[in-house]
Amino acid sequence: MLVFEFKAYGKSSQLAAVCEAIRTAQFVRNSCLRYWMDNPKVNKYDLNKYCAVLAREFPFADELNSQARQASAERAWSAISRFYENCKKGIPGKKGYPQFQKNCRSVEYKSTGWKLAENRKSIEFTDKKGIGCLKLKGTRDLHFYQISQIKRVRLVKSAGGVYVQFCIDVNRKEHIEPSGNTLGLDVGLKEYYTDSNGVTVENPRFLRIGEKVLKRCHRKVSRKVKGSKNRGKARQILGKRHLKISRQRKDHAIKLARCVISSNDVVAYEDLRIKNLVKNHCLAKSINDASWYQFRIWLEYFGKVFDRVTVAVNPQYTSQECSNCGRVVRKTLSTRTHVCQCGCSLDRDLNAARNILSRGLGTAGHVGTFAQHASNALGESTSTLVGEILPQQVGSGNQESAS
């Protein structure tokens, strides 16, 4: 599934109609959630039927396309099913009980309620909300895809304006020549990552760089009177600053992940739990600014696109173990050099990257020899799912990778 995003342009009345459609979608989603709370035995299909009841009772809900109402009900059911799954798995702590949405920013249409122009430069929404025809501006070309391949159309409102997203049913595959290289990655805060070859990538620190401008924008917002137009304008400027930083992070993660995957046949990285790491309030801002999880998501995505093997390994003791002899050398975060009794002396992150690579190759050995695994990376059928965490597929993998 590919998602193409275009900037939408229209009159102020059309953009106001988009906001009204988004509020209606939020109302339908919250109403379905309330219906489930009052009737816990209802299922997904009961929520879809309840959308028709809402359309009969509320005229503004009837103005929204019927499939758009069903898509909002599906969003409510997605939160409910996720809560059920967490309860079945016995996840400790909060199970993610569904909450009412207070600030929805998108409405989703399925196969009806919209009509794309022949030149693919504009789109018309045909429901009763009065959105009308919106001009599209973007770098993607929709002429390569059939209208039947477009499964969903989203209207998204952000600080930069209104955007139209097209969800296209296409399996993306690209062929590149095998390189025969394997790589282990150790992410960090000083350097963005250090690989097993000793190459380091500088941490861009987009939030730290733009923090001065963000603080100034926050002060301007706080000086304005609540509810005034000037405060709204200041909030709009602040939102654009945050949007720029998030786009910088995403662009950096995409380009870096593509470069890593296209240059190596097997890539091993840490299976980090970011939710637990950010509990350290001294490092939480820097960890979020690094956006390690987004980098991992794009690594796995490009691994599937280029048919490369990506392995997530247990990060426990990767910095403490010696990559030469395997002896555990205790060290604090301030100790940046690994020195072992066997005579091995190298950078702490480089030592961790080599341990990650060896664990990744060792985990792959449970499903076959490395020669077989390397041949899979060269284009043959793989015995494991590309991009998945191998220890979860092979039961004995957890026992070997754990320290």
Given this model, what pLDDT does residue 371 score? 34
Q: Rounded to whole angstroms, how far apart are CA atoms 228 and 88?
A: 48
pLDDT at 372 over 50: no
The mean pLDDT of 356-373, rounded to a whole number, is 59
pLDDT digits 0-9 by tens, 206-229:
999 999 999 999 999 999 999 899
Instruction: Pick the last residue of a domain from 114, 144, 168.
Output: 168
Other C-beta atoms within 10 Å of 160: how many? 14
List C-alpha distances in Å: 39 to 85, 86, 98, 389: 19, 20, 14, 38
Claim to verify: residue 156 and residue 278 sit in the same structural domain: no
Q: Are 311 and 270 in contact (CB under 8 A)?
A: no
Question: pLDDT tens, 233-271?
Answer: 999 999 999 999 999 999 999 999 999 999 999 999 999
- On whether residue 174 sits in a domain, the answer given is no
Q: Are 269 and 187 in contact (CB under 8 A)?
A: yes
Whether 51 and 28 have beta carbons less than 8 Å apart is answered as yes
- Shared domain for 191 and 133, answered yes or no, is no
Between strands 114-116 and 122-125, the pairing is: antiparallel
> Is residue 287 located within the same domain as residue 341?
yes
Evaluate whether 205 touches 181 at the Cβ level (below 8 Å): no
Would the pLDDT of 199 be above 60?
A: yes
Lowest mean pLDDT, pick from 7-11, 129-133, 362-366: 362-366
Per-residue HEC secondary structure of 344-398 comes to CEEEHHHHHHHHHHHHHHHHHHHHCCHHHHHHHHCCCCCCCCCCCCHHHHCHHHH
Residues 12 and 101 in one domain: yes
Whether residue 134 is found in the same domain as residue 275:
no
Residue 249 lies in a domain: no
Residue 42 is assigned to a structural domain of this protein: yes
Tens of pLDDT, residues 166-198: 999 988 888 888 888 899 999 989 899 998 888
So what's the pLDDT on residue 385?
37
Task: Please check whether residues 327 and 287 belong to one and the same domain.
Answer: yes
Residue 123 within a domain = yes
28 shares a domain with 151 = yes
DSSP 2: E
Mean pLDDT of 124-130: 91
Tell which residue, 328, 288, 293, has the closest CA to residue 206.
Answer: 288
Dihedral (C-alpha) 333, 335, 338, 343: value to the nearest 10 degrees?
Answer: -150
How many domains are there within the chain? 2
How far apart CA 115 and CA 147 sit, in angstroms, is 9
Query: What are the phi and psi torsion angles at 63 (to 5°)?
Result: -70, -25
User: Residue 294, class by beta-carbon neighbours within 10 Å (0-12 exposed, 13-18 middle, 19+ buried)?
Assistant: middle
Confidence of residue 30 (pLDDT cuts 50, 70, 90): very high
Question: Quick check: is 367 in a domain?
Answer: yes
> pLDDT averaged over the chain?
85
Q: How far apart are CA 52 and CA 68, in angstroms?
A: 12
- Of the CA atoms within 13 Å of residue 7, those in its CB half-sphere come to 7
Is residue 190 domain-shared with residue 164, that is, in the same domain? no
Range of the structural domain that residue 150 is part of = 2-168
**pLDDT at site 364:** 53
Q: pLDDT digit string (tens) for 33-90? A: 999 999 988 999 999 999 999 999 999 999 999 999 999 999 999 999 999 999 998 8
Q: Is the same domain home to 144 and 289?
A: no
Task: Say whether both 128 and 189 belong to one domain.
Answer: no
One domain, residues 92 and 192? no
Can you give the pLDDT at residue 178?
87
Q: Is the residue at 245 inside a domain?
A: no
> Tell me, what's the pLDDT at 344?
83
Q: Express each pLDDT in 87-118 by its tens digit.
A: 998 888 888 899 999 999 999 999 999 999 98
- Decide if pLDDT at 384 tops 50: no
Domain end (from 144, 168, 192): 168
Rg of the Cα trace of the chain? 25
Q: Which residue has the higher pLDDT, 1 or 310?
A: 310
Q: Residue 252 CB: number of other CB atoms within 10 A?
A: 18
Here the tokens at position 131 are 């959105």
In a domain, 256, yes or no: no
The angle subtended at Cα 8 by Cα 4 and Cα 14, nearest 5°, is 140
In the predicted structure, residue 333 carries a pLDDT above the cut 50: yes
Residues 298, 354: one domain?
A: yes
Is 87 a domain residue?
yes
* Secondary structure (DSSP) of 295-360: HHHHHHHHHHHTT-EEEEE--TTTTTB-TTT--B----TT--EEE-TTS-EEEHHHHHHHHHHHHH
pTM confidence score: 0.80
Angle between helices 12-38 and 44-57 (to 10 degrees): 120
Distances (CA, A) of 363 to 266, 351, 357: 12, 18, 10
